[in-house]
Amino acid sequence: MKIAIVGVQGDVSEHVEIVKKALDNLGISGIVKPVRKRGFISESDAVIIPGGESTTISRLIWRDGIAEEIIELARDGKPVMGTCAGLILLAKHGDKQVEETDTRLLKLMDIWVRRNAFGRQRESFETEIDFKGIGRYRAIFIRAPLIERVGKGVDVLARIDEGIVAVRERNLLGLAFHPELTGDTRIHEYFISMI
């Protein structure tokens, strides 16, 4: 099994490490590789777009032809997970900030995202969520987006008081928080089970 981690910017090594751990726990052998150029994604079984700065990640993946590869892989029905900035990039509908920063989205998930939804007062925080199919889970939010609305085919997997924070649309998984920053491998195991 080959899993690509978009490696142009953001929490790349954290995702690589936790995917390796999750594969280990599941007894599956696989290659997990950070990707900065086109080529590896098209031969992968799944791809993860990490958190970071969505405008920067967007610019680099479109510049280097990685964006088209992710879109093709997703259209082939292979799993794609976006976390935080990665979630923003998966969305079909961005907010004013996305528009004003000319952040080009991949437009794969029928969701409406609001970038930096928590403002300065709550830049980062941790909270317990109920994740559908997983149960109680401690989620870490850092300058996180929120999902304000979802289209018909989208399953809401978790929410907090302010709004939706985890969604799945067929082979696509989007999280507003950072599952790579906890020691908890359950979300990555859930993602691998989608392959």
| Tokens representing residue 143 in the block | 């300058």
CA angle 188, 191, 192 (to 5 degrees): 90
Q: Does 104 bind ligand GLN (CB under 6 A)?
A: no
| Tokens representing residue 129 in the block | 């969520």
Verify whether residue 180 is a known catalytic residue: yes
Rounded alpha-carbon distances, angstroms, from residue 116 to 15, 30, 145, 157, 181: 21, 34, 5, 20, 19
Q: Does 94 bind ligand GLN (CB under 6 A)?
A: no
Q: Does 116 bind ligand GLN (CB under 6 A)?
A: yes
Find the part of the chain contacting ligand GLN (CB under 6 A) among 15-23, 36-44, 82-90, 152-160.
Answer: 82-90
**Furthest-apart CA pair in the chain: how many Å?**
45
Judged on CB neighbours under 10 Å (0-12, 13-18, 19+), 100 is exposed
- Write down the least CB distance from residue 60 to ligand GLN, Å: 13
Find the part of the chain contacting ligand GLN (CB under 6 A) among 38-46, 84-92, 130-138, 160-168.
Answer: 84-92
Verify whether residue 178 is a known catalytic residue: yes
Q: Does 52 bind ligand GLN (CB under 6 A)?
A: yes
Residues taking part in catalysis: 84, 178, 180
The residues binding ligand GLN (CB under 6 A) are 51-54, 84-85, 88, 115-116, 142-143
